[in-house]
Amino acid sequence: MSAFRIRFRGALASLSLADRSKLFDRGRTADDMVRTTCEAIIDVVRRDGDAALISLAREYDKARLSSLEVPRPAWREALGSIGPEVRTAMERAVMNIRRAHEALRPQASETYTEPGVLVGRRPDPLQRVGVYAPGGRAAYPSSVLMGVIPARAAGVGEVVVCAPPEPSGKPAAVTLAAAELAGADRVFAVGGAGAIAAMAYGTQTIPRVDRIVGPGNAYVAQAKLLVSDTVAIDAPAGPSELLVIADDTASAGHVAAEVFAQAEHDPDAAVVVLVVGSDAADRIGAELQRLIPGQQRRTIIEAALRDRGALLVAASIDDAVTFANEFAPEHLLLATNDADKLLDRVRNVGTVFLGETSSVAFGDYMTGANHVLPTGGLARSYSGLSTLDFVRWTTYQRIDRDAAARLAADVGAFAEAEGLPAHASAARAWRRSP
């Protein structure tokens, strides 16, 4: 059997400028057809509301809907229908996600910038948020948990979930079960760009929300960008990404397993292994070749590694960390003997996994950290989903009479310098009389 191909092999320092550009250019840019289709769907949903969504479900999901909303008894029925092992796993994930996000809730703070001048900031939960749960080729109940539970922990008033219907007219049973366990308020059997439009603008049945979160395909991602001037969204999302930094202490088998786990998501997934030491790189490369025949999603894995995979050798751990900060991956696995020491040096990353026992798969499902993370290099400026995404901040300030008198002259001078005499007068009104 012929060996499969990894796109980039060799020394990190020998990468050509063109290869480096290809490696870094990994965002999912929607083509004209995707954008045009999404614009048309958004327009028809804004115009026709529920009727458009019912028509879209018939066209794209092959589902004939009698109602867009899934009644609560159907959630409970779905929860009872899933196997006990899956339910136990989901309940454990719910517990850990809730613990992590409740512990990391944003806190109010205030300070006196000078005597008598108080400035404070208070997190106020959003009134209503929408969580998109992907469907179609596969259902992702974990994404329901990752969206709904942080919103609940932040104190959001109402959490609605949209997920594509199966031909039965309801979303997948595991998706409904996750909504029940996570504590969602309403679920709608609506998918794709239509669901994003419905949550952004509202229909006769689906309420308008204050923020839309959750992953999805290229159409969902494009639709979220198109409505982002109307409603807040989480970070624009693309295919899954993994960067592994490994040294000679890393198990080649464990590194290979992590590579396959992320590459199986999508043919466009980007998986890079950066090894300090050529011997270790050879071992990992040989293990990838040995294990690939046994992968159930081999075709997807091979496509991802052929187009966007890399197995590179770094001259030093310093070079590897520098590359990581430039690459800004969604997931970074530090499979080194000094992972904890490297953590402080890592800046641009969605989430860091410390040591090879910290499998990315654990973070995807069970540790309690959120798996909705920035991709395509956006970790340079975006963070992973958290309770921070479900609040807005109210700033307040109080100036007592003595402080007002002290501020008056300087504020008046500042305002006049900007050509705003009414501002100057408002400030100087608080000067003390001689």
Same fold, 8-28+238-368 and 32-233: yes
Q: Which of 254, 331, 356, 371 is labelled catalytic?
A: 331
Residues 220, 203: Cα–Cα separation, whole Å:
18
What's the N-to-C CA distance of the chain in angstroms? 95
CA–chain centroid gap for 19, Å, is 27
Domain ranges within the chain, ordered by starting residue: 8-28+238-368, 32-233
Query: Facing residues of 274 across strands?
Result: 245, 312
> In this predicted structure, what is the pLDDT of residue 2?
54
Six-digit token pair at 413? 């001078």
Mean per-residue pLDDT over the chain, rounded: 95
Contact 299, 266 (CB under 8 A): no
Enter the tokens of residue 84.
Answer: 């006990």
Residues 257-267 have a mean pLDDT of 95
> Which residues are CB-neighbours of 186 under 8 A, at least 6 positions away?
69, 158, 160, 161
pLDDT at 259: 98
HSE, side-chain direction, 13 A CA sphere, residue 379: 30
* Farthest CA pair distance, the chain: 95
DSSP of 299-318: HHHHHHHHHHEEEEEESSHH
Question: How confident is the model over 197-220, as a mean pLDDT?
Answer: 96
Residue 46, C-beta contacts closer than 8 angstroms, at least 6 positions apart? 197, 201
Mean pLDDT of the region 110-114: 98
Residue for token pair 């970070």: 235
Residues of the chain by 3-state class (helix, strand, coil), percent to 5: 50, 15, 35
Q: What's the pLDDT at 29?
A: 61
Is residue 75 within 8 Å of residue 180, measured between CB atoms? yes
- Which residues make Cβ contacts (< 8 Å) with residue 25, sequence separation at least 6? none
Interatomic CA distance for residues 290 and 279, integer angstroms: 17
3-state class of 348 per DSSP? coil
Cβ–Cβ < 8 Å for 335, 313:
no
Q: How far apart are CA 30 and CA 106, in angstroms?
A: 34
- Residues 46-98 have pLDDT tens digits of 999 999 999 999 999 999 999 999 999 999 999 999 999 999 999 999 999 99
Catalytic residue among 241, 330, 356, 371: 330
Write down the pTM of the prediction: 0.93
Rounded distance between C-alpha atoms, residue 17 and residue 44, angstroms: 44
Helix (H) or strand (E) holding 222: helix 218-227
Number of Cα atoms under 13 Å in the Cβ half of residue 43: 6
Q: What is the pLDDT of residue 1?
A: 43
Each residue of 129-142: pLDDT tens digit? 999 999 876 788 99
277: left (phi over 0), alpha (psi -120 to 50) or beta: left
CA torsion angle 288 294 295 298 (round to 10): 80
Is 232 strand, coil or helix? strand
Residue 3 has pLDDT above 70, yes or no: no
Rg, the chain, Cα only: 25
pLDDT of residue 422: 98
Summarize the confidence of residues 330-344 as an average pLDDT.
96
Looking at domain 8-28+238-368, its CATH architecture is 3-Layer(aba) Sandwich (3.40)
Token reading at 103? 């512990």
- The domain made up of 32-233 has a fold known as Rossmann fold (3.40.50)
> pLDDT tens, 269-311?
999 999 998 899 999 999 999 999 999 999 999 999 999 999 9
Taking residues 190-210, report their average pLDDT. 98
Distance in angstroms (rounded) separating the CA atoms of residues 261 and 263: 6
Instruction: Tell me the Ramachandran region of residue 155: left when phi exceeds 0, alpha when psi lies from -120 to 50, beta otherwise.
Output: left
Edge-to-edge strand list for the sheet holding 391-399: 109-114, 117-125, 391-399
- Is 331 designated active site? yes
Question: Dihedral of the CA atoms 412, 415, 419, 422 (nearest 10)?
Answer: -70
Closest CA to 188 of 82, 75, 97, 87: 75
How is 36-73 classified by DSSP, letter by letter? Answer: HHHHHHHHHHHHHTHHHHHHHIIIII----S-SBPPHH
In this prediction, residues 256-265 reach a mean pLDDT of 96
